[in-house]
Amino acid sequence: MADDHHEEERPDYDPEHVELPAKEPPLRSTAPQSDFTMSQVGTGIVVTLVGLALTFGIALALA
Protein backbone atom coordinates (compact mmCIF):
# COMPACT_ATOMS: atom_id res chain seq x y z
CA MET A 1 0.00 0.00 0.00
CA ALA A 2 1.40 3.38 -1.00
CA ASP A 3 1.98 5.95 1.72
CA ASP A 4 1.17 9.49 0.53
CA HIS A 5 2.51 11.27 3.60
CA HIS A 6 5.95 11.91 2.09
CA GLU A 7 7.89 10.92 5.18
CA GLU A 8 11.20 11.67 3.47
CA GLU A 9 10.25 15.37 3.18
CA ARG A 10 9.48 15.77 6.89
CA PRO A 11 12.23 16.67 9.33
CA ASP A 12 12.38 14.74 12.58
CA TYR A 13 10.38 16.40 15.34
CA ASP A 14 12.56 17.87 18.04
CA PRO A 15 10.57 19.54 20.86
CA GLU A 16 13.71 21.33 22.05
CA HIS A 17 14.19 23.17 18.71
CA VAL A 18 10.79 23.98 17.24
CA GLU A 19 10.97 25.85 13.92
CA LEU A 20 8.00 27.94 12.89
CA PRO A 21 6.83 27.86 9.25
CA ALA A 22 8.62 30.26 6.91
CA LYS A 23 5.39 31.88 5.71
CA GLU A 24 2.11 32.70 7.41
CA PRO A 25 -0.95 30.54 6.73
CA PRO A 26 -3.59 32.10 4.48
CA LEU A 27 -6.24 34.21 6.16
CA ARG A 28 -9.57 32.45 6.55
CA SER A 29 -12.99 33.99 6.54
CA THR A 30 -15.84 32.24 8.31
CA ALA A 31 -19.46 33.21 7.88
CA PRO A 32 -20.46 34.39 11.37
CA GLN A 33 -17.51 36.78 11.57
CA SER A 34 -17.78 38.12 8.00
CA ASP A 35 -19.12 41.59 7.30
CA PHE A 36 -22.31 41.78 5.28
CA THR A 37 -24.27 44.56 3.62
CA MET A 38 -27.84 45.72 4.22
CA SER A 39 -28.64 44.47 0.71
CA GLN A 40 -27.65 40.96 1.80
CA VAL A 41 -29.77 41.34 4.94
CA GLY A 42 -32.73 42.42 2.80
CA THR A 43 -32.25 39.44 0.49
CA GLY A 44 -32.18 37.10 3.49
CA ILE A 45 -35.38 38.59 4.88
CA VAL A 46 -37.16 38.26 1.53
CA VAL A 47 -36.06 34.64 1.16
CA THR A 48 -37.24 33.91 4.71
CA LEU A 49 -40.63 35.52 4.12
CA VAL A 50 -41.15 33.67 0.82
CA GLY A 51 -40.22 30.39 2.50
CA LEU A 52 -42.60 31.01 5.39
CA ALA A 53 -45.39 32.04 3.02
CA LEU A 54 -44.93 28.89 0.94
CA THR A 55 -44.69 26.62 3.98
CA PHE A 56 -47.68 27.94 5.86
CA GLY A 57 -49.62 29.09 2.79
CA ILE A 58 -49.66 25.60 1.26
CA ALA A 59 -50.51 24.05 4.65
CA LEU A 60 -53.41 26.46 5.19
CA ALA A 61 -54.65 26.05 1.60
CA LEU A 62 -54.78 22.27 1.97
CA ALA A 63 -56.48 22.39 5.40
* pTM beyond 0.85: no
What pLDDT is stored for residue 7 in this prediction? 58
What pLDDT is stored for residue 36 in this prediction? 80
Distance CA(3)–CA(34), nearest Å, equals 38
Interval 5-62: pLDDT, tens: 655 666 677 777 777 767 776 676 666 667 788 999 999 999 999 999 999 999 899 8
What letter would DSSP give residue 26?
P
What pLDDT is stored for residue 14 in this prediction? 74
What pLDDT is stored for residue 3 in this prediction? 57
Distance CA(28)–CA(25), nearest Å, equals 9
